[in-house]
Amino acid sequence: MDLVRNLFGSTIGRKLIMAVTGVVLIGFVVGHLVGNLQVYENPDRINGYAHFLQSLGPLLWAVRAFLLGCVTLHIWSATVLMLESRRARGDEPYAVNRWIQAAVSSRYMRGTGYVVLAFILYHLAQFTVGVAQPASFKTNLPHYTMGSDYHIAGLTVVRAGTDVLDVRSMVIRGFANPVVSVFYIVAVGLLSLHLLHGADSLFQTLGWRSQRWERGLRVVVTLLCAAYFLGNLAIPGGVLLGMLK
């Protein structure tokens, strides 16, 4: 009980909550991108993958609830920390430079965070609930029959001949709308900047900022964030350029 009180009730505890939930969410977005890039392979791949996820049933709901909990805690801890640092600034008249830096970065993280949140809500409406572009939603498209088995870690999880939802066509039809695609590209760009800046805060929390290898670490993180952006860009970009049909 004391542990929970300390975690939620102290600044360092809240920073820890923000860092841990941030790392979990990074794990999700990277895994999601790797899964989505299968759109460039045989349609059996992404359709089999989506079918496998849907077939997890209650486990899928447990993962969704866990991710939603992480998003909520991430936003809550960010908001409380921001209000705290605003209050603390009033007592620290000499730290003007640090004050300006912190204000700019927290405003920047908030701004990119709001756009990412709006993006996730639209994304769920489009691909999970199907209210944003109902005509191209997976349940309204003809079913797809798997031409080959779909394996994960050597295990067959979807058999050839199974009728599955055509998630690949849903994605391609969805991104055929340039307004939707441009919104995605801008949003994943801001998400990548959010991740880049979030990594900085994480390293600060972990006390890695003053290390000798800080610059090298920053270069690696910048390259990873750029790769993340390009990977995401490749999907709507590929549809707009006619490379994905």
d(CA 106, CA 108): 5
Q: Which of residues 214-233 bind ligand HEM (CB under 6 A)?
A: 232
Can you tell me which of 22, 48, 198, 236 binds ligand HEM, judged by CB under 6 A? 236
The DSSP H or E segment spanning 70 is helix 58-89
How far apart are the C-alpha atoms of 23 and 148, rounded to whole Å? 35
Q: Which of residues 159-198 bind ligand HEM (CB under 6 A)?
A: 167, 171, 184, 188, 191
Binding to ligand HEM, residues 86-145 (CB under 6 A): 116, 120, 123-124, 127-128
CB of 29 to ligand HEM, least distance (A): 5
Number of helical H runs and strand E runs in the chain: 8, 4
Give the residue with the Cβ less far from ligand HEM, 14 or 138. 138
Rounded (10°) angle between helices 178-206 and 96-123: 140
Least distance (Å) between residue 221 CB and ligand HEM: 18
How many residues of this chain bind ligand HEM (CB under 6 A)?
19
**Contact (CB, 8 A) for 13 and 6:** yes
Among 225, 235, 239, 244, binds ligand HEM (CB under 6 A): 235
For residue 84, the tally of other CB atoms under 10 A from its CB is 12
- Write each residue from 21 to 60 as x if it is in contact with ligand HEM (CB under 6 A), else as -, in one continuous string: --------x--x---x-------------x----------
Q: Write the CA distances from 199 to 59, 191, 205, 208, 227, integer angstroms.
A: 30, 12, 10, 11, 15
Q: Give the interface with ligand HEM as residue ranges (CB under 6 A).
A: 29, 32, 36, 50, 64, 116, 120, 123-124, 127-128, 167, 171, 184, 188, 191, 232, 235-236
